[in-house]
């Protein structure tokens, strides 16, 4: 059967976005209908002429609402930012790279306001419902990105990940989410959450699609994703903090996944990592993320605090309690711990842990601030480790057997992104 053209696939995606009974209105805050149709037609014309701009040529792509598009207000799913009306002078570098690679950008996707929660709730533009169970949160902050992939509004979604904002929604919605080494993809033209921790990565149905998108985002040449051999692969199973208080579904599926990996030939070792405790001690003293997000929004809070999601506002406001000395001390402590973790992982091919210790909560389960904060902390707990230690990471969907999605997360040392993707592709085959 011949592959559908880019135009045909785009038409199908737009029909799903436009379906009044679906999540398109909540997941996609801007739809680039005319521009996308023109881009798809151009890609199909190239294909007929035997010309290709690379693996993303003609691929239907969405971008998170925090990326600059020339001539538009970058609102980061905030009505305050939208009303401030600051118009982007040019496309963000990653948007420029996507266009140059022939990607068909169909929409900007919804998110947690300012990208500052892990559940994906948005009181201003609505919360896109989880494709696996419409009563549940999608995960955040790249909520619309995961729903867009899961519901077929796009083939690849581009999100951001500061503490898990790509991997949490990927886990909750049953798709793949990749966090690259932070320095590989430019964050210019992306509305910031944390200058230190922000990274940009893709969500898609497969590792191969994530790898193709990642190369474009990083400005690298396309490469062949050859699958790493599983036999003899050294996988360290993280002990301690990442395995505490797993819910029943995650607590059952994670060991089942480990068993399948071992039977496929992987060498598992059970790794105690006191560095996790060191991280928690550092974060108990201060927060790089909170200090930096407060510096971004301090004046905005004073002017328009009542118009900001009140949970986001409360979290941002805590930055007022952080002194410059605390911030500097935490930054120095983190730098030391990053070096220690890099050395600790040198003898492993990857570290394995559950992406999130819980499945996606029901929306009505997080309707109060206390309940929201408790579930938000659990959603972020494991993914945050990769950002703190400056690692690259990926979340892979585990077999669901008709139940709710869960994710298997792999960590790799900074700069070893391609090796991680090769390992992830091998593990993906085990579970597919």
Q: pLDDT tens digit string along 231-277?
A: 999 999 999 999 999 999 999 999 999 999 999 999 999 999 999 99
Q: Which residue has the tokens 């480990």?
A: 258
**DSSP-assigned beta bridge partners for residue 61:** 105, 156
pLDDT at 150 over 70: yes
**What pairs with residue 133 in β-bridges?**
130
Confidence of residue 25 (pLDDT cuts 50, 70, 90): very high
To the nearest whole number, what is the mean pLDDT of the chain?
98
Please say whether the beta carbons of 88 and 45 come within 8 A. Answer: no
Fold of 6-217: Amidase signature (AS) enzymes (3.90.1300)
Cα separation of 203 and 209, whole Å? 8
Cα 204 to Cα 316, 396, 398: the distances in Å are 30, 10, 14
d(CA 421, CA 374): 32
**Residue 413: pLDDT above 80?**
yes
CB 64 within 8 A of CB 108: yes
pLDDT digits (tens, 9 = 90+) for 361-375: 999 999 999 999 999
CA-to-CA separations, 337 to 189, 201, 334, in angstroms, rounded: 29, 24, 5
Residue 1 is predicted with a pLDDT of 58
**What is the distance between the alpha carbons of residues 386 and 388, in angstroms, rounded to a whole number?**
6
Q: Do the beta carbons of residue 122 and residue 308 sit within 8 Å?
A: no
Question: Where residue 3 falls among pLDDT bands split at 50, 70, 90?
Answer: confident
Q: Has this prediction a pTM greater than 0.95? A: yes
The pLDDT of 379-384, averaged and rounded, is 98
- In sequence order, what E strands does 210-327 have? 234-238, 267-271
Q: With 0-12 CB in 10 A as exposed, 13-18 as middle and 19+ as buried, what is 99? A: middle
pLDDT at site 299: 98
**Measured between alpha carbons, how far is 172 from 137 in angstroms, rounded to an integer?**
8
Q: Which CATH number fits domain 234-399+406-431: 1.20.1630.10, 3.30.565.10, 3.90.1300.10, 3.40.190.10?
A: 3.90.1300.10
Percent of the chain with pLDDT over 70: 100
**pLDDT in the model for residue 416:** 98
**Bridge pairing between strands 234-238 and 267-271:** parallel
* Region 109-120 average pLDDT: 98
Catalytic residue numbers read: 64, 141, 165
Q: What is the pLDDT of residue 350?
A: 98
pLDDT one-digit tens code per residue, 388-404? 999 999 999 999 989 99
Is the per-residue pLDDT at 119 higher than 70?
yes
Residue 172 near residue 187 (C-beta atoms within 8 A): no
Parts of the chain belonging to CATH 3.90.1300.10: 6-217, 234-399+406-431
Whether the per-residue pLDDT at 295 is higher than 80: the answer is yes
| Contact criterion met (CB below 8 Å) for 179 and 144 | no
**Which are the contacts of 270, defined by CB distance < 8 A and separation ≥ 6?**
236, 237, 239
Radius of gyration, alpha carbons of the chain: 20
């Amino acid at each position: 059967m011949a592959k559908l053209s880019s135009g045909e696939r785009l038409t199908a995606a737009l029909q799903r976005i436009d379906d009044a009974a679906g999540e398109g209105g909540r997941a996609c805050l801007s739809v680039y209908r005319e521009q996308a149709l023109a881009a798809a037609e151009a890609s199909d014309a190239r294909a007929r002429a035997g010309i290709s701009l690379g693996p993303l040529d003609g691929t239907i792509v969405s971008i998170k609402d925090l990326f600059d598009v020339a001539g538009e207000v970058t609102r980061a799913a905030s009505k305050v930012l939208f009303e401030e009306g600051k118009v982007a002078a040019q496309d963000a570098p990653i948007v420029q790279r996507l266009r140059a690679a022939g990607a068909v950008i169909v929409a900007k996707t919804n998110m947690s306001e300012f990208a500052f929660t892990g559940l994906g709730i948005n009181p201003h533009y609505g919360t896109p419902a989880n494709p696996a169970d419409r009563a549940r949160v999608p995960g955040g902050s790249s909520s619309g990105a995961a729903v867009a992939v899961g519901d077929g509004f796009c083939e690849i979604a581009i999100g951001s990940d500061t503490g898990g904002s790509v991997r949490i929604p990927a886990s909750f919605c049953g798709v793949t989410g990749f966090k690259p080494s932070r320095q590989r993809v430019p964050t210019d033209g992306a509305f910031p959450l944390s200058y230190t921790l922000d990274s940009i990565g893709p969500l898609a149905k497969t590792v191969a699609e994530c790898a193709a998108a990642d190369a474009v985002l990083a400005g690298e040449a396309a490469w062949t994703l050859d699958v790493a051999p599983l036999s003899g692969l050294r996988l360290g199973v993280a002990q301690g903090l990442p395995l505490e208080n797993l819910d029943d579904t995650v607590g059952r599926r994670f060991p089942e996944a480990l068993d399948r990996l071992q039977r496929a030939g992987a060498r598992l070792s059970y790794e105690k990592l006191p560095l996790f405790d060191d991280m928690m001690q550092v974060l108990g003293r201060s927060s790089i993320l909170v200090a930096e997000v407060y510096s971004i929004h301090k004046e905005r809070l004073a002017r328009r605090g009542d118009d900001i999601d009140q949970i986001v506002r409360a979290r941002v406001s805590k930055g007022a309690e952080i002194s410059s000395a605390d911030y500097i001390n935490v930054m120095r402590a983190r730098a030391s711990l990053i070096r220690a973790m890099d050395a600790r992982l040198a003898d492993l091919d990857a570290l394995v842990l559950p992406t999130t210790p819980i499945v996606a909560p029901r929306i009505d389960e997080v309707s109060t601030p206390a309940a929201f904060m408790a579930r938000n902390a659990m959603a972020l707990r494991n993914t945050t480790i990769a950002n703190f230690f400056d690692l690259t990471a990926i979340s892979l969907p585990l077999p669901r057997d008709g139940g709710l999605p869960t994710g298997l997360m792999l960590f790799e040392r900074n700069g070893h992104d391609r090796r991680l993707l090769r390992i992830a592709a091998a593990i993906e085959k085990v579970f597919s």
